[in-house]
Amino acid sequence: MRLLIACSVLSFIIFLISQKVIAVPFDAEITGNSTAPSSNTKQSESKDVRQAGIQKLSDEIDKYQAAVEKIESTEGMYSEQIAQKLVNLGNIYQHYEKHEDAVQVYKRALHLSRINEGLYSLTQIPILEKMIESYKKRKQWEQVNDKYYYMYWLYARNFDDMDINRLDMELQIANWHLEAYAMQLLPDPTQDLIYSYSLFDRAVNLITNTYGETDERLITPLNGLMLTNYFIASHVMRSSVEKVYAMNEQLQVQMKKSDILIAEMKRKSFVTGKKIIQRKLTVLQGQTQVDHQAIAKVKLKLADWFLMHNKRQTALRHYQEAYDYAVATDKNKEFLEQLFSQPVALPHYPNLQQRTRAIKSDTELTTDVRYVHATLDVTKYGKARNIKIVSSNPPDNSPIKTKALKSLRTTKFRPQISDGMTIFTEQLQLHVFPE
């Protein structure tokens, strides 16, 4: 089977720069008889490099196609040796951002893997992961979801329910459901939250059962649980769901199971979040080499959780505990100032993209980044006051300014902490990056 090539000049330039085939020139000082190359010379050289790049890609693809055809002629079109050649060919297409061609090649490789290794063979997993990568690039979310669940099915056929070999798969699919929830892909996005929480929770149980209660590998799924539980806690429920606990049993049965489940998880989310953070703290404290900075950060997360749930006095007490711990353990002053010297927009979780952050000056931002530069005061209880817009990019974009103002008014902040006490902060400089 012949696969046709059609690669844009831009793709080649990006690839060749990454491979250092094209050198990015810097302005050179002209001395003696040195002369700068003319624009015609530069264009000619650039054209030659592009032609060389196109020829190189064509040669690579021809090489793999010839290898596939040779194997087909000697061993038949279902030879198991063909699958790896096809994967390599797919990787070339993927590298050049030709994802449609890559997917077609991976599909054939997957088919050959099933024929030669069996329907349940785990040799399909690397091919599925490459297919998912290309489907994501093409934003073909339904195909991404299908391939993840085919992966889940393969693991279920090969391993028992609590086999540690399932761990990587459980984490991959848990993270996918968080992505899907963020993009609101399903008609009922709460299903993604339920699936994600369940898979992260399973990963915690897999690691605990295999390696123990304080194994460091628990940190990754616990971070996932923290983030998912936050989304559950902040999820806006439909009005009919909010009233579920005031309804009689017959009406509850009529509601969708996912609505009832997410409502129950939301009701328990404060206690659940506190337990997850405390579990992470237990894991960190149980390590042979204790990471004091990591422990101080988790102590702050616990205080943040109380503050986000309007338990201000408890939050202040935990902020003081976090500060006291940092003072006692940070003998070389490596992280004390970093953690406590200025307010932090909440929530502040691992793997959660921060839309608000402090930046020293506008010159640190590239011209194509959309942002709003604002100043505000932060009270000792983490509330924003006296919010003012300083500038924005683009400068005349009123909608992003309005969106930034609305966001800052509702954002809670971890207050600045000095000598163990939360304090009022004036004129905090922030940049807000709208979605």
CA distances from 144 to 95, 135, 136, 172, 403 (A): 19, 6, 7, 12, 32
pLDDT at 40: 53
Cβ atoms of 132 and 152 within 8 Å: the answer is no
Whether the per-residue pLDDT at 9 is higher than 60: the answer is: no
Higher-confidence residue of 164 and 391: namely: 164
Cβ atoms of 433 and 356 within 8 Å: the answer is yes
Q: For the whole model, what pTM was predicted?
A: 0.78
User: Judging by DSSP bridges, how do beta strands 344-345 and 413-414 pair with one another?
Assistant: antiparallel
C-beta atoms surrounding 399 within 10 Å: 8
* Distance between first and last Cα of the chain: 44
Position of tokens 């500060």? 323
Mean residue pLDDT of the chain comes to: 81
CA distances from 18 to 6, 47, 95, 174, 254 (A): 20, 18, 11, 32, 57
Amino acid at 189: P
Position of tokens 């953690």? 339
Rounded CA separation 344/307 (Å): 12
Cβ atoms of 106 and 90 within 8 Å: the answer is yes
pLDDT tens for each residue of 122-154: 999 999 999 999 999 999 999 999 999 999 999
Query: In the predicted model, what is the mean pLDDT of residues 424-432?
Result: 91
Cβ atoms of 128 and 142 within 8 Å: the answer is no
Higher-confidence residue of 251 and 57: namely: 57
Q: Which of 15-24, 96-105, 321-330, 424-433 has the highest mean pLDDT?
A: 321-330
| Residues 6 or more apart whose Cβ sits within 8 Å of residue 108 | 1, 86
Amino acid at 302: L
Tokens of 168: 């990587």
Query: In the predicted model, what is the mean pLDDT of residues 343-351?
Result: 87
Query: In the predicted model, what is the mean pLDDT of residues 154-162?
Result: 96
Query: In the predicted model, what is the mean pLDDT of residues 181-204?
Result: 92
Rounded CA separation 234/67 (Å): 55
pLDDT at 24: 29
Q: What is the DSSP letter of 22?
A: S
Query: In the predicted model, what is the mean pLDDT of residues 379-392?
Result: 92
Cβ atoms of 435 and 372 within 8 Å: the answer is no
Burial category of 41 from C-beta neighbours within 10 Å (exposed 0-12, middle 13-18, buried 19 and up)? exposed
Higher-confidence residue of 358 and 185: namely: 185
Whether the per-residue pLDDT at 112 is higher than 50: the answer is: yes
pLDDT at 67: 64
Position of tokens 């909608």? 399
Query: In the predicted model, what is the mean pLDDT of residues 202-208?
Result: 98
